Amino acid sequence: MMKIVLQRYLSLTLLVLLLAAHLAFPTYAAESTLSALRDYLDNGGFAVEKDGRVIAAENPHEMFVPASIIKVAASLAALHSLGPDYRFETHIFIDPEQNLYIKGFGDPFLISEEVAVIAGRLKELGCERINNIYLDDTAFATTAAADGSGTSDNPYDAQNSALAVNFNTINIEKDRTGTVRSAEEQTPTLALMAELSRDLVPGVHRINISWDSRDGIEAIRRYTGELFRAFLQQENIAGSGVIAFRSVPVSLAPFYIHRSSRTLEDILGPFMLYSNNFIANQLFLAMGAAEYGHPATWEKSRQAMETFLLKKFNLTSAEIRVVEGSGLSRKNRVTPNAMIRLLDAFKPYGRYLPEEDGRFVKSGTLKGVYAYAGYFTEGDTIDSFVLILNQQRNNRDRILLLLEEIYHGQ
């Protein structure tokens, strides 16, 4: 009897040891991988989750400059304030002299195709003539460009405005004879294009329309007015006159209210894919206006963001600071821990992030800033991860592979 009991005891002990060895191996492998990836860290932090728990982290409570991964925070705040089914509006007015007033409320996707729809709708509603075109952009009161943006002709420096078309960029084709035309089928050739192409070499160029203007707002208004005029003419709506800024008279009722063909959720996919800074800050400003009323300002949006992060996630300024929504500003700060919490909340929309090699990843890049945030996947499960480097060495791809090795090894 004693022999049988002893055999059972030894068998049970052996089984426990075998299980312990099996369980210990991934932990040993993870520690070995963690040690290897720390060699790539000069100044940075990361965190990786699996099944609702953090399985690896370094400097999780230290604040870093996040670059474009902060767009996840801006998107969450906009979804909270506006709702995923929200559609931006553009209000159209016509006075007794057949002058057109266009009042914008920050639609980030007021693109050529959308302006064509508006012109067609005006024709359907009986509009036969438009004289002057007045632009009302008073729903935004931004006295300065987004913090961190520059004055280059690059589209990522495009200014924000309550009334702007085609992301405040213009696509131009210039041939060797100097002839200039629109480089996209959906956009008519405009007079502004010839002026903006003066110093461009032959080829196709997409540029920020206000980069060489003393007053960027004037260039934005002119572009919007010229585009609307071109589409009105395509609808055989007669008339001519000035293009200028003027607030809508309080006595005028809207002739037509255009609701964007895209919901806020529809915007997320292309927004994240192209990491569009203009869209990010249009959403950021609209979110502030939704919380504190028009006109939208940077300060209203910063306050709205701070309140949202505190009430929804109990995140304070010691863990995240957002001064603008695109990630251009080096005043933005976030800890890996805070970013993981935001990514967890963003999971219902996580598959809108760019997909590569079976993971969903938003990148962020500034000089000396290299970041990734997104989701590793196993089957239908997605788990949050973040990596932020504030250093000269760009080792993020090597570190990402090591983090993924740890994730799949658990």
**What does the pLDDT look like over 261-276, one tens digit per residue?**
999 999 999 999 999 9
Task: Tell me the average pLDDT of the chain.
Answer: 91
CATH 3.50.80.20 in the chain: give the residue spans.
Answer: 89-262
Spatial contact of 345 and 78, defined as CB atoms under 8 Å apart:
no
SS3 46: strand
What is the band of 157 on the pLDDT scale with cuts at 50, 70, 90? Answer: confident
The span from the CA of 164 to the CA of 102, in Å, is 11
Residue 63 reports pLDDT greater than 60: yes
Q: What is the mean pLDDT of residues 46-58?
A: 95
pLDDT at 250 over 80: yes
pLDDT at residue 10 greater than cutoff 90: no
Percent of the chain whose predicted confidence (pLDDT) is above 70: 92
**Model confidence pLDDT, tens digit, residues 221-238:** 999 999 999 999 999 999
* Mean pLDDT in residue range 164-180: 95
pLDDT value for 37: 87
Helix (H, G, I), strand (E, B) or coil at 198: coil
Class of the 34-82+266-409 domain? alpha beta
pLDDT at 330: 98
Query: If you average pLDDT over residues 350-357, what whole number do you get?
Result: 95
Strand-pairing partners, residue 208, are 169
Stretch(es) of the chain classified as CATH 3.40.710.10:
34-82+266-409
What integer is the mean pLDDT of 343-368? 97
- Please give the average per-residue pLDDT across 175-183, as a whole number: 95
pLDDT of 212 reads 62
C-beta separation of 226 from 209 below 8 A = no
Nearest to 123 by CA among 289, 239, 259: 239
Task: Report pLDDT digits (tens) over 70-106.
Answer: 999 999 999 999 999 999 999 999 999 999 999 999 9
How far apart CA 216 and CA 195 sit, in angstroms, is 14
pLDDT score, position 283: 98
Count of beta carbons in the 10 Å neighbourhood of residue 148? 18
How far apart CA 49 and CA 58 sit, in angstroms, is: 13
Mean pLDDT of 162-177: 96
41 pLDDT band (50/70/90 cuts)? very high
Lowest-confidence segment of 8-22, 121-135, 255-269, 331-345 by average pLDDT = 8-22
**What is the arithmetic mean of pLDDT over 288-315?**
98
Buried b / exposed e along 152-183 (16+ C-beta atoms within 10 A):
ebebbbbbbbbbbbbbbbbbbbbeeeeebbbb
CA distances from 235 to 112, 124, 170, 224 (A): 14, 10, 22, 17
Does the pLDDT at position 6 exceed 50? no
Q: What is the pLDDT of residues 96-120, one digit of tens each?
A: 999 999 999 999 999 999 999 999 9
Round to whole Å and give the CA distance between 51 and 344: 11
Q: Say whether pLDDT at 357 is over 80.
A: yes
Q: Kindly calculate the radius of gyration of the chain based on its CA atoms and give it in whole angstroms.
A: 27
Residues in the chain: 410
Burial class (CB in 10 A: 0-12, 13-18, 19+), 392: exposed
Domain 89-262 has CATH 2.40.37.20: no
Query: Residue 216's pLDDT is what?
Result: 76
Confidence class of residue 210 from pLDDT cuts 50, 70 and 90? confident
Would you say 160 and 140 are in contact if contact means Cβ atoms under 8 Å apart?
yes
pLDDT of residue 215: 62
